[in-house]
Structure 1
Amino acid sequence: MTLFPDIRIVPFSRLTQGGRWRAEAMRSYSAPQLLWITKGQGRITVAGVTRGYGAHNAIFVPAHTMHGFEMTGQVFGSAVMFPGMADLDLPDTPHHLRIRDGQVQVEIATLLDGLDRELSRKRTGARRAIRHYAGLISVWLERQIELAEDVTSIPVSARRLAAGYAALVEREFRTSKSVSGYAADLGVTPTHLTRVCNQTCGRSALELLTERKISEARRLLADTRAPVKDIASALGYASPAYFTRAFHARTGRSPKEFRKGD
């Protein structure tokens, strides 16, 4: 148990405990987080936009933002979670930063090491030290965002629409709402929404929606004892049979097989 439960550092090795799907599956957290990648590569999708990542990448994910990342081989790094700390003035939007300056890389590594030490030791003034380290990390992030160049070729309008869709999906994926319903809410046609999603993350709008539903289904199957029929209903599927077919198509296993083998 840490002295300051509002903040924690989670090594990437723990994110994949219980299966790589736990890191790769689309999900969101109630707290903002900063991912600091020190080694490895892959692709990460945040708010409907997919980009490649590598060593010395810093990725900020706001609270309640749909995301998931693919790992190519071993990936090392840490996720810093900031629950209940609105006074840190963290960004409201996602940011993907490629940190090329060696000194700047050392700065964030030093701050994370210091924060980790204070979290794991019962020393005088630890609470103040932890809060100060968190504040310095937020300042570091703000400065790097200010210096960053927007190198993506995806138009801003497309990124905004994808982010809007991802945000709606994150709020309503537990319902039976279709892509057409989401498109209507966004004031676009389903065809246009799918075209934009393919442009921003290489997935159709339906694939993004299905992936979020199945990711939650995996979590519920692995971490709860809820009956399959209740999980199907909770995720807006018309019937347990339809849910089972969708789950098998996505994972190669039935819900019961996944639960037994997880």
Structure 2
Amino acid sequence: MNDTSPIASPLRLIQIPRLAARGRWRVEAMRSINEPLLLWFTRGQGRITVGGITRGYGAHNAIFVPPGVMHGFEVSSHVFGTAIYFGRDCELPLPEEPLHLRVRDAAAQVELTGILDNIQRELDSDRPAHDRAAHHHLGLLGVWLDRQIAQSGADSRPRDAAARLVARYTALVERDFRSGMGVADYAAALGVTPTHLTRVCRQSCDRSAHELLQDRVLFEARKLLAETTIPVGEVSRRLGFTSAAYFTRAFQNRVGATPSAFRRAN
């Protein structure tokens, strides 16, 4: 599991456009974080992939991503909303599986907006016990989620065998993407053929098993190149590539620049 969220206070609210301010790859490529995340979209639309399942999202969609679940979503200049990072030490009772809620009730939309405003107000405050107050409001956000699940009858679990297989595959990728394992290795671990694994991945998220794996690995590569001074050869080794030359070719084919050029630009 790898934390790729912005470094800040344990509980934080970040406007979604800011997440992509230093490159859309930071939100669109597959990755996971070590804390619960709620995405509240208030404007725009696109596609989001969570645990290997791709769905469309639009205004007034709330998407909950548990810690360690691989995800990525499209973001354009028309997309607006808030990302709520609950913090690594969050002890609230929250869903254990990904959840996608389409919140059509206007009162529920207003209620959520009010909760988020209250959290942000306390986080920005210097009044005594403002941190404790912010976490109490966060507790109300957990209650809001519970009520929306109960009212909508939402089932956060994958509903068919293909979706369950892809969810298991992405969980394995998230655990082992630094190992240098290929699709055939993951397929063997899951007890299926590489062809079948690729077929169900395309069915669930319109990407092959190899594309999902490569996207996760190269997100990590871009993050290391952009945020550290680790030599390119060491980045290659840490991500399981057999040689720096092979890593450079794979990176350039996917990103459109060599690792060194990408680092200079970022």
Whether the TM-score (by the shorter chain) exceeds 0.5 is: yes
Post-superposition Cα deviations, 1:147-195, rounded to whole Å, max 9, x if no partner, equal 335699x852222111111111001001111111111111211111111
Whether 1:220 aligns to 2:234 is no
1:60 aligns with one of 64, 70, 92: 64
The question of whether the paired residues in 1 share the 8 Å contact of 2:178 and 2:239 is answered with yes
Alpha-carbon distance in structure 1 between the residues aligned to 2:69 and 2:159: 20
Whether 1:171 aligns to 2:145 is no
Whether 1:190 aligns to 2:200 is no
Number of residue-to-residue matches in the alignment: 258
Gaps of 5+ in 2: 1-7
Q: Give 2:54's aligned amino acid.
A: T
Summarize the Cα distance change of 1:40–1:165 in structure 2 as closer, same or farther, 3 Å threshold: same
Shift of 1:127: 2.8
Alpha-carbon distance in structure 2 between the residues aligned to 1:231 and 1:141: 39
- SS of 2:73 mapped into structure 1: strand
Whether 1:132 aligns to 2:123 is no
Shift of 1:72: 3.5
Aligned counterpart, 2:97: 93
Alpha-carbon distance in structure 1 between the residues aligned to 2:167 and 2:193: 16
Alpha-carbon distance in structure 2 between the residues aligned to 1:174 and 1:72: 30
Whether 1:78 aligns to 2:82 is yes
Alpha-carbon distance in structure 1 between the residues aligned to 2:228 and 2:85: 24
Shift of 1:85: 4.0
Aligned counterpart, 2:236: 232
**Superposed, which structure 2 residues align to 1:8-23 within 5 Å?**
8-23=12-27
1:38 aligns with one of 42, 46, 51: 42
> Which has the higher mean CA deviation after the structures are superposed, 245-254 or 84-93?
84-93
Q: Give 1:8's aligned amino acid.
A: R
Shift of 1:23: 1.3
Shift of 1:67: 0.6
Alpha-carbon distance in structure 1 between the residues aligned to 2:141 and 2:79: 22
Q: Give 1:88's aligned amino acid.
A: L
> Which has the higher mean CA deviation after the structures are superposed, 80-89 or 128-137?
80-89
**Superposed, which structure 2 residues align to 1:145-156 within 5 Å?**
145-148=149-152, 155-156=159-160
Alpha-carbon distance in structure 2 between the residues aligned to 1:208 and 1:238: 19
Alpha-carbon distance in structure 2 between the residues aligned to 1:33 and 1:209: 22
Shift of 1:55: 0.7
The question of whether the paired residues in 1 share the 8 Å contact of 2:101 and 2:154 is answered with no
Q: Give 1:167's aligned amino acid.
A: A
Post-superposition Cα deviations, 1:111-145, rounded to whole Å, max 9, x if no partner, equal 00000000110113323311211111011111112
Q: Give 1:107's aligned amino acid.
A: E
Alpha-carbon distance in structure 1 between the residues aligned to 2:155 and 2:45: 18
- SS of 1:144 mapped into structure 2: helix
TM-score (normalizing by structure 1): 0.94
Alpha-carbon distance in structure 2 between the residues aligned to 1:214 and 1:84: 24
Aligned counterpart, 1:249: 253
TM-score (normalizing by structure 2): 0.92
Q: Give 2:55's aligned amino acid.
A: R
Once superposed, what is the RMSD of the aligned Cα atoms? 1.7
Alpha-carbon distance in structure 2 between the residues aligned to 1:94 and 1:155: 12
Q: Give 1:143's aligned amino acid.
A: R
Alpha-carbon distance in structure 2 between the residues aligned to 1:10 and 1:47: 22
Q: Give 1:185's aligned amino acid.
A: A
Shift of 1:73: 3.3
Q: Give 2:143's aligned amino acid.
A: V
Alpha-carbon distance in structure 2 between the residues aligned to 1:147 and 1:183: 38
Summarize the Cα distance change of 1:87–1:158 in structure 2 as closer, same or farther, 3 Å threshold: same
Alpha-carbon distance in structure 2 between the residues aligned to 1:16 and 1:23: 6
Q: Give 1:51's aligned amino acid.
A: R
